[in-house]
Amino acid sequence: MKYIINIFEWIGRCAVNIFVVAIRAVIKCIVFLFSEIWQFIKNTAKGISAFFDVSRESFHRRVELSQKLSKDVRKAKKKGENEYRHAVLKFIGYFLFGEEGVFRTAFNYILPIVSIAVLLGVISWGVNLEYGIVVEYNGKEIGIISAEADFEEAEKEVKKRLAYSDEDADFDSKAKLSVKILSDDDIYVSSLQLANAMLSASEQELAEACGIYIDGEFTGAVKDYKPVKDALDDRLANFSADGIVKNISYVNKIEYTDGIYLTSSIMEENEMISLLTSTNEKDATYVVQDKDTPVTIAQKYNMDFNDFEELNPFIRNRCSAGQVVNVVEHESYLPIQYTREMETLSYLDFETIEVQTSSLEYGTKKLLVKGEKGEKRSKVEVTYVDGIESSRKTISSEITKEPVIQQMGVGMEAARPDYPDTVYNGGPLTGTGQFAWPVNGGWISDVFISNRNHMGLDIAADSGTNIYAADDGYIVTAGWNAGGYGNVVMIDHLNGYQTVYGHMSYVVATEGQYVTRGQLIGLVGSTGDSTGPHCHFEVRYLGVHDDPAKYLNTSGVIYSPEQEKPEDNTDVNNTDVNNPDVDNNSVPYADNSQNEYADPNIYDPNAYADPNLYDPNAYADPNIYDPNAYVDPYAYDPNYYGY
């Protein structure tokens, strides 16, 4: 503990030191900032003061000079007219053109201002000028462009047109570029106009025509592009496909550009139409998807089924997902694309989770909630290219049915018999698992009914062994019972079922308490009518005793509601000691009396229809116990049971 306190003290000191250092750093930054601002203010003030000092000194010198010249003029006036005239001229000369004269002072101030104004004017004039790049080819100016990129585009265009020719046409693209100031008569040319001018300036055989470009690539040229354009438009107008289609267009971008082209690249209009509307076939492969059939695959590629079968002779007998089949793709020179809107129904997989639950025995699993797939309806826009789906886009979707999460219960109970696989007549308990094994260990020392109308299941264990609630519920009885149960606990599970735990050495639970499955409620003992430490465990439904073995499971296999449970021929209200389904030679029990059920709050004898099996009048006083009322002498011989 002291070591931990020292650690916290050290952490506290470190935190304080870090805080102090941070505060000091902030203060230093603030002081530095204010000192720099103060220094700037002082320097600015000094500069302004120096400016005024210089101005004031210059003004004082001019005043002193003016006073001196005025004084000289007054003296000269007294001497004579010539001296006076000379003094006045001297006064004017010094005042206007002297070192501190008006003109020199004005020149010192005005000249910088004029220089700045002239500089700004020159810059403004230069900025407003328009410059262009002159392209000269073979010594001839062929156009003016605004940027070098226009020349590069024109050069590419010329090479495209020349590349179409079968002739190895050499084109010298070396051109001279220079910058000039444009006049009002100069006009920019586009890259296509420049390309035409460059071809015109070359020595190739050229002619005016209309070039046809597919996705920017030159295909050829025709004299008149209108018949070609009309034929392509008619092909779109007459295109047909299944369903309602829209947005029918060519996949590729088609452009028609007038210009100068090599004569070898100019085609007849019909020849160009045949080229652009042609279709080629090529062999390809396809990977079979889920739900594909030979017929749907053939339809997907617009193939005749016989042709498809000829390429894949095995297809009738084997067509499974992941299989590779041969197909023939029809590839148009100008593929047509279109879109279709359709509604689709898709299924959403459910999630499977494991839920730890105390409603199951430890190590067992049971389907608590069966998963169900959800449903989603979507409106999708499917794009087809030459009849084959190329992409799809979901426009809207709505989940019409949410998937149900599948829940697998995993038993978390720790209480188990000492030997779960042989605990019940040499085998495991195979009941529904509705109730948990209530004792931490132990074994079955007497079964339900047995040979003495036993109304519960005796679980023998060492004294002091924990006893747990078999399921959730409220404690309705907790404490001593004088009718034979000794220290007893009864739990009402609020579903018609009640469970009873008798002969405890110590009761942990209290009346009115709500307990959960597996919660400690008491300790194994031998109080009441008992010949050895054990837990007398009862299950009642609507007040009627039932065999607890039907509700306990130690096999690890729980039958879900959807599974068929093995037929159980045991009578639920079995009170017949001669019933062949009951093993009358079971392991000796630990209870010492049938009269342990005399307390009417624990057991209602009227629930049994056969008065020969139980006479409630014999026990009118629940505090009275008469063992002699029973003929079976072994029921009360403790030596018979080895306790």
Which pLDDT tens digit goes with each residue over 247-284?
A: 899 999 999 988 888 888 888 999 999 999 888 888 88
Which of 346, 375, 406 is the endpoint of a domain?
Answer: 406
The token duo for 85 is: 């005239």
561 and 424 within one domain: yes
What is the rounded CA–CA span in Å between residue 295 and residue 451?
73
Domain count, the chain: 4
Higher pLDDT, 157 or 21: 21
452 and 402 within one domain: no
Q: Is residue 178 part of a domain?
A: yes
Name the pLDDT band for 593 (thresholds 50, 70, 90).
Answer: very low
Instruction: Give the C-alpha distances (Å, rounded to integers) separating 424 from 173, 360, 443, 534.
Output: 102, 18, 8, 16
515 and 547 within one domain: yes
What is the rounded CA–CA span in Å between residue 242 and residue 387?
9
Strand partners, 44: none
Give yes or no for a contact between 466 and 509, defined as CB atoms under 8 angstroms apart: no
588 and 459 within one domain: yes
- If you search the block for the tokens 């009309």, which residue do you land on? 230
Q: What is the DSSP string of 413-440?
A: -----SSGGGTBTTB--BS--SS---BS
Which domain does 327 fall in, by range? 282-406
| CA within 13 Å, CB half, 212 | 25
Residue 71 has pLDDT above 80, yes or no: no
Which of 49, 71, 97 is the endpoint of a domain?
Answer: 97
pLDDT at 154: 82
181 and 35 within one domain: no
- If you search the block for the tokens 């630990």, which residue do you land on? 590
Threshold 0.85, pTM exceeds: no
395 and 522 within one domain: no
Q: Mention every residue, 6+ apart, whose C-beta is less than 8 A from residue 166.
A: 264
What distance lies between CA 222 and its chain's CA centroid? 55
User: What integer is the mean pLDDT of 338-360?
Assistant: 83
419 and 311 within one domain: no
Q: Is residue 115 part of a domain?
A: no
Which pLDDT tens digit goes with each residue over 559-577?
A: 444 444 444 433 333 333 3
304 and 266 within one domain: no
337 and 265 within one domain: no
pLDDT at 164: 60
Q: Is residue 121 part of a domain?
A: no
What size, in residues, is the chain? 643
What is the rounded CA–CA span in Å between residue 445 and residue 459?
6
Task: Please list, residue by residue across 462-473, b when 16 or more beta carbons sit within 10 angstroms of its beta carbon and e when fewer do.
Answer: eeebbbbbbbbb
Q: Among 132-141, 215-224, 229-238, which is the least confidently predicted range?
A: 132-141
What is the rounded CA–CA span in Å between residue 190 and residue 388?
41
pLDDT at 595: 37
Residue 285 has pLDDT above 60, yes or no: yes
Give yes or no for a contact between 538 and 492, defined as CB atoms under 8 angstroms apart: no
What is the rounded CA–CA span in Å between residue 144 and residue 137?
12
Which of 406, 425, 446 is the endpoint of a domain?
Answer: 406
469 and 571 within one domain: yes
Which pLDDT tens digit goes with each residue over 473-494?
A: 999 999 999 889 999 999 999 9
534 and 397 within one domain: no
Q: Is residue 108 part of a domain?
A: no
The token duo for 80 is: 């004579």
420 and 355 within one domain: no
